[in-house]
Amino acid sequence: MTALEKATGDVVLKFEPFVLHVLCQELQDAQLLHSVAVNSGFRNSGITVGKGGKIMVAVRSTHCLEVPLSHRGKLMVSEEYIEFLIHVANQKMEENI
């Protein structure tokens, strides 16, 4: 709260979800890993094949959070709401683990 009170610009609370990149030798391996990831709840996962033939699986969760807190130094939300957001972000971190 002290940092927010001193802020003169825009402040955003941002939580980035888990991301894991895995280089696979075979497309079948990538497809299996992708299937496991999606079925485990990591719905933003995907497979990419580079120009050189590298096969990469990105395992990503959907647990993101981005909320503006202040604008031009003016706090736009209550302290109670910030505490709630921190609780939500911490829950998302636990889900990432």
Looking at the fold, whether 34 and 53 belong to one and the same domain comes out as yes
Q: Is 1's pLDDT higher than 90?
A: no
* 53: DSSP letter: -
Count of domains forming the chain: 2
pLDDT of residue 61: 84
Length of the chain: 97
Looking at the fold, whether 72 and 89 belong to one and the same domain comes out as yes
Mean pLDDT of all residues in 53-68: 92
Looking at the fold, whether 6 and 28 belong to one and the same domain comes out as no
Per-residue pLDDT tens over the stretch 13-41: 999 888 999 999 999 999 999 999 999 88
Range of the domain at 55: 19-61
Q: Is 96's pLDDT higher than 80?
A: no
Looking at the fold, whether 4 and 27 belong to one and the same domain comes out as no
pLDDT of residue 37: 93
Looking at the fold, whether 56 and 73 belong to one and the same domain comes out as no
Looking at the fold, whether 29 and 56 belong to one and the same domain comes out as yes
* 92: DSSP letter: H
Per-residue pLDDT tens over the stretch 75-91: 999 999 999 999 999 99
Looking at the fold, whether 30 and 50 belong to one and the same domain comes out as yes
